[in-house]
Amino acid sequence: MLQKSLTTLLLITLLGLFWFIGERSLSTLSEGQKEAPLQRFDEHDFYQLDKFPQQVDSPIHPIPPLKKLSPPLQARVNLGRQLFQDVRLSGNQKISCKSCHQLEQGGHDSRGGSTGTSGKLLRRNSPTVYNAAFNFRQFWDGRSANLSAQAEQPILDQNEMGGSWPVILQRLLTDPNMVSAFSVYPQGITAETIRDALSLYERTLVTPHSPFDRYLRGDESAINGAQKRGYLLFKKLGCISCHQGRNVGGNLYQKMGIYATEAQLTQLQEDDFGRYELTGMESDRMLFKVPSLRNVALTPPYFHNGSRATLEQAVADMGLFQLGRELEEHQIELLVLFLQTLTGDLSEEKK
Ligand code: HEC
Ligand code: HEC
């Protein structure tokens, strides 16, 4: 009798010990996995950097075409594409990134102004996500250092997607398809892997082979005479001092309205003071990230507040506000002809 209960006791203790060890190793495993750093990918993983060298000397550089991605990277990118269109990332499950960044329409919001889950019109114009990967910072005021950090802001912003991580994670974790799609990450479904997949996908949203890039790579006939004159004017007037590099912008901050009159400035500011809102420094008042002019012909309206309906208007005002000169009609026309040559190949995402 005594022997029997002793054996039972021993068995129970042993079982308990096994369970304890099992639990421990499980929990340390998942902790370890959660803490495992994400695999990083660099430009060489995404783009053909050397295949099409630049031939024409210019402060503007061509967009490198995508290369065939490695299978693990491609799997993450595919997941990011899915998430970009997934309304479960929004509080009311009605809005996705794509609602305001319409990839068939230049990657911005073709409605002119964006409304999120709250139904309120956002104060800033949605920039395009195409080539955003080449910007030195993200947002009009550059408040995010990279795409992964950027992605969280619209998701959590009450006026944009109004989401919350616990709810989003719970929704995705209960979807077997998502659980299996996220198996490309040893960490599984976490806020960080969601942001990472979105950012990797966005790095594939590039628009190479624009006529101007083909010209830079030595195809003289890729742009015509008037477009070339437009480019020369762009350089001569000084537009190029702010809009240059791969994105023809997106690589520095500049003041908007350097030469604007008091009345013009008031109208431009409305309730938006650019980087001043982040730093509180007087020198940052009306400082914005110089926007990229890639595909600019596809993305009206213009400026941080979407206040200019046409490219002609935006160009004329750039003359007035940034260069202190009234551009002539034919100059505006030539500049616009040049800007149109910056429209690249969006075909991948149009399909
Ligand atoms: C309700 C509309 C809306 C939704 C939804 C939305 N965005 Fe945006 N997006 C904007 C606006 C407006 C800005 C500019 C805000 C600013 O600069 O302050 C912006 C800026 C960006 C930028 C910066 C681009 C640049 O050139 O600086 C990126 C990248 C971006 N969004 C990606 C995303 C992703 C990824 C999602 C989904 C997770 C998303 N957006 C959802 C409206 C939206
Ligand atoms: C001193 C720097 C500077 C110069 C010079 C300059 N720009 Fe700009 N450009 C900016 C900034 C900053 C913005 C963003 C302004 C805003 O949103 O309020 C901008 C915006 C634009 C836009 C609108 C882009 C969009 O997506 O909304 C166009 C088009 C443009 N510039 C073209 C030109 C042309 C053409 C010239 C020469 C005639 C020029 N810029 C000269 C800094 C400059």
**Residue-level pLDDT at 72:** 95
Ranges in the chain annotated CATH 1.10.760.10: 67-202, 211-350
**Residue-level pLDDT at 26:** 42
| Least confident stretch, 22-31, 99-108, 141-150 | 22-31
DSSP 102: B
| Least confident stretch, 61-65, 102-106, 144-148, 286-290 | 102-106
Residue 233 or residue 3, greater confidence: 233
**Residue-level pLDDT at 212:** 98
Instruction: For residue 22, give every residue at least 6 positions away whose Cβ sits within 8 Å of its Cβ, in sequence order, or none.
Output: none
Q: Is the CB of 162 under 6 A from ligand 1?
A: no
**Residue-level pLDDT at 113:** 79
User: Alpha-carbon torsion 292, 298, 302, 308, what sign?
Assistant: positive
Query: CA nearest 86: which of 144, 188, 171, 164?
Result: 171
User: Residue 265: which pLDDT band, with cuts at 50, 70 and 90?
Assistant: confident
Q: Where are the beta strands (DSSP E) in the chain?
A: 253-255, 287-289
Q: Is the CB of 139 under 6 A from ligand 1?
A: yes
Tally of helices (H runs) and strands (E runs) in the chain = 15, 2
- Write out the CATH class of domain 211-350: mainly alpha
- Which ligand 1 atom is nearest residue 124's CA? 12
Query: CA nearest 183: which of 174, 191, 193?
Result: 193
Average pLDDT over residues 218-232: 98
Q: For domain 67-202, give the CATH number.
A: 1.10.760.10
| Least confident stretch, 49-53, 166-170, 194-198, 238-242 | 49-53
Q: Where are the beta strands (DSSP E) in 256-298?
A: 287-289
Q: Is the CB of 80 under 6 A from ligand 2?
A: no
Residue 27 or residue 208, greater confidence: 208
Average pLDDT over residues 226-252: 98
Q: How far does the centroid of ligand 2 lie from the alpha carbon of residue 290, in Å?
A: 7
Query: CA nearest 237: which of 135, 315, 125?
Result: 315
Rounded to the nearest 10°, the torsion over CA 272, 278, 282, 284 is -80
Residue-wise pLDDT for 34-58, tens only, equals 568 999 999 999 999 988 899 999 9
Q: Which two tokens stand for residue 21?
A: 């060890």
Q: Is 116 exposed, middle or buried (0-12, 13-18, 19+ CB in 10 A)?
A: buried
Residue-wise pLDDT for 303-318, tens only, equals 999 999 999 999 999 9
Residue-wise pLDDT for 173-190, tens only, equals 999 999 999 999 999 999
> Rounded distance, CA 328 to CA 306, Å?
23
Q: Which ligand is nearest to the CA of 117?
A: 1
| Statement: residue 27 has pLDDT above 90 | no
Query: CA nearest 201: which of 151, 135, 250, 166?
Result: 151
Report the catalytic residues.
160
Strands 287-289 and 253-255: antiparallel
> Rounded distance, CA 188 to CA 180, Å?
9
Residue-wise pLDDT for 267-286, tens only, equals 888 779 999 999 999 999 99
User: Whole-model pTM?
Assistant: 0.90
Tally of CB atoms within 10 A around 322: 22
Q: pLDDT averaged over the chain?
A: 90
| Statement: residue 106 has pLDDT above 70 | yes
Average pLDDT over residues 277-302: 96
Query: CA nearest 39: which of 167, 209, 272, 196?
Result: 196
The alpha carbons of the chain give a radius of gyration, in whole angstroms, of 26
Q: Which ligand is nearest to the CA of 267?
A: 2
